[in-house]
Structures are given as structure tokens and as C-alpha cells.
Chains A and B, each alone.
Chain A
Amino acid sequence: MSRQAVRPINEMSVSFPALSENERFARLAVSGFLSQLDPNIAELSDIKTAVSEAVTNAIVHGYRETKGEVSMQVRIFGGGRITIKIQDKGCGMEDIEKAMTPLYTSSPEEERAGLGFTIMATFMERVRVKSRPGKGTTVLLERTVQGKQRL
């Protein structure tokens, strides 16, 4: 398959300070934008949960609850394909594989369950993570939305 650039049908970008109050806003922004695909309740719930994990990771681990900005980009492609990019310019990760190990957390005292990436991988079809220590982390979530009509 040629790696021809596929243009999104629609897209939106939003950025917000790394405040825990904004975790809810991020979920609502994504579900509001995706409402044009008429997702069913299960799909919307899965997507909101995955977004919540990625945004919380950026706030808790990326910025370690200090000041910073989280940016989010949602794209809609043909056939109900969506991508959600969540990016921070925080501390980044030395070892992505270790961070993605189920039940591993660098903040046990904060009662983090270490399941963020497991949830993202289960609730989305594809998760890609790019990270550089001192530069930040980008998480790209992908899946197809069937929607109510196509069920």
C-alpha cells in the first residue's frame, strides 16, 4: 500500500492548561466533536475513557502536576476512521515499554492503578506513543466508529 497522505474529512484542535479540572473538558470536547458520526453509547464510552487516560497521563506524569499545556487534535477520515492525538511538552519517558506494562505506575502514592495504556489499547484499535525525555510525549489513538445507523 502506498503511503499516500490521506486527508481528513474534518478535524479540530484544542489546547488547555494541564489542570485536572480539564480532564472532563477534554472528554466532552472529543465526544462533542465526534457526535457528527453518531457514535453509539458503547463507542462513545470507550473513546471518552481512552482520552481520559491519555490526558490524565499528560497532567500527572508528563507535567507531574506542574504548569504546562496539553494539546489535543481529533481527525475524522472516511469510513468512520478517527484519530486522536494527545500531546504534552512535559518530562517524557525513558522507557515507553515499561510505562505501557499493565499495572506499572510511577505514582503509586497517587493511587494510579497503572492501567492507563492497557485501557487505551483495549478501548481503541491502535495506540502509538512517541516520547523523548525532557521533550514530551505524544499519544495517538485510532479506531473506527460504526455509529448507530451502521449497526
Chain B
Amino acid sequence: MTELKTVQGVTVALLSGELDHHTARLMRCEIDREITEKRPRRLVIDFSGVTFMDSSGIGLIMGRYKLMNERGGSVTVARPPVYIKKVLRLAGVDRLAPISDTLDDLLPAEDYAKEAERIEQTSGQTN
């Protein structure tokens, strides 16, 4: 499953479940559609919800890197679990896309979610 959100030129693709040759097809179609429509300058692929990944995940990252690179953009791999890091390291993915253990500093400062949270907190205080 893929949850996509684009805010201020940054697309976050939150992947969840198992990432293999079978599931990668749909994931990459959904990500590519978002990139084509929204034209972000950065793609953050969030692996925190991925429970299994084989080399199909590497193919997915390499393919999105190519697409973003052609458009002058970048790709960041975020929050990979330990067992996925092993595959990422083996493939040398960090040469194409930096790997980050957190989403901090990857999202635009005025992220919708943060903004919504702030508004909610403010309204909570006034009540």
C-alpha cells in the first residue's frame, strides 16, 4: 500500500506491507503518477511501514531516482527498519539517495499536518 502526499514541492510516499516483485509494480505506478502530476523537487520514500523487502525495493528506489534525476529532483530514503537497511547497504543505495532515520528536516517547514496540529492545539487552548 502507498500513501502519497505532496506539500510545497516535496512528495512523501509512505509504503507499507511487504515490498517484493509483485507489490512493487503497483507502488511504483502510484508514485510515478504523483510525480508526473505534482512535479515535486524532492521525493521522500518512507519505509517505516515496510515489513519485508527484497531487491525489488532496490529496483523501485533506482527507478524513482532516475525519474527524479531527469527532472532535476532528488530522492531520500527515510526510516528504513534494520532488516531493510541490510539490503540497502548491500546495494549501495546511499550513493544515489541519502538514507535518513527521521523525517525531520525532510518536509517543508509549513507542512499541512504540523499546521493542522498547531491550529488544533491553539483552538484547544482557547476553549
Number of chain B residues close to chain A: CB under 8 A: 22
Whole-angstrom distance between the Cβ of B78 and the nearest chain A Cβ: 19
B16 is an interface residue with CB less than 8 A from chain A: no
Q: What A residues does B28 contact at CB under 8 A?
A: 111
B24 is an interface residue with CB less than 8 A from chain A: yes
Looking at B28, B56, B60, the one whose CB has the most chain A CB atoms below 10 A away is: B56
Inter-chain CB contacts under 8 Å: number: 66
A31 CA to B124 CA in the complex, in Å? Answer: 49
Q: What A residues does B63 contact at CB under 8 A?
A: 111
Do B55 and A115 have beta carbons less than 8 Å apart?
Answer: yes
Whole-angstrom distance between the Cβ of B97 and the nearest chain A Cβ: 13
A23 is an interface residue with CB less than 8 A from chain B: yes
Size category of the A interface is 20 to 34
* Chain A facing B: main interface SS: helix
Do A56 and B90 have beta carbons less than 8 Å apart?
Answer: no
Q: What B residues does A113 contact at CB under 8 A?
A: 55-56, 58-59, 62, 91
Cβ-defined partner of A53 (8 Å) among B25, B54, B83 = B54
A122 is an interface residue with CB less than 8 A from chain B: yes
Cβ-defined partner of A112 (8 Å) among B22, B59, B86 = B59
B112 is an interface residue with CB less than 8 A from chain A: no
Do B24 and A111 have beta carbons less than 8 Å apart?
Answer: yes
| A7-15, A44-52, A70-78, A88-96 - the one binding chain B | A44-52
Residue in A closest to B22 when the chains form the complex, CB atoms: A20
Whole-angstrom distance between the Cβ of A94 and the nearest chain B Cβ: 22
Cβ-defined partner of B54 (8 Å) among A42, A52, A111, A122 = A52
Going nearest first, the 10 A-B pairs with the smallest beta carbon separation are A20-B22, A111-B59, A113-B58, A52-B54, A45-B83, A115-B55, A113-B59, A111-B63, A56-B21, A113-B55
Name 9 extra pairs, CB < 8 A, besides A111-B24, A115-B55, A122-B90. A24-B18, A24-B22, A45-B52, A49-B54, A52-B21, A56-B55, A111-B62, A113-B55, A113-B56
CB<8 Å pairs between A and B, sample of 18: A20-B25, A21-B22, A23-B20, A24-B18, A24-B20, A42-B83, A49-B53, A56-B21, A59-B21, A111-B60, A111-B62, A112-B55, A112-B59, A113-B56, A113-B62, A115-B55, A119-B55, A122-B90
Please list the residues of chain A having a beta carbon within 8 angstroms of any beta carbon in chain B.
20-21, 23-24, 27, 41-42, 45-46, 48-49, 52-53, 56, 59-60, 110-113, 115-116, 118-119, 122
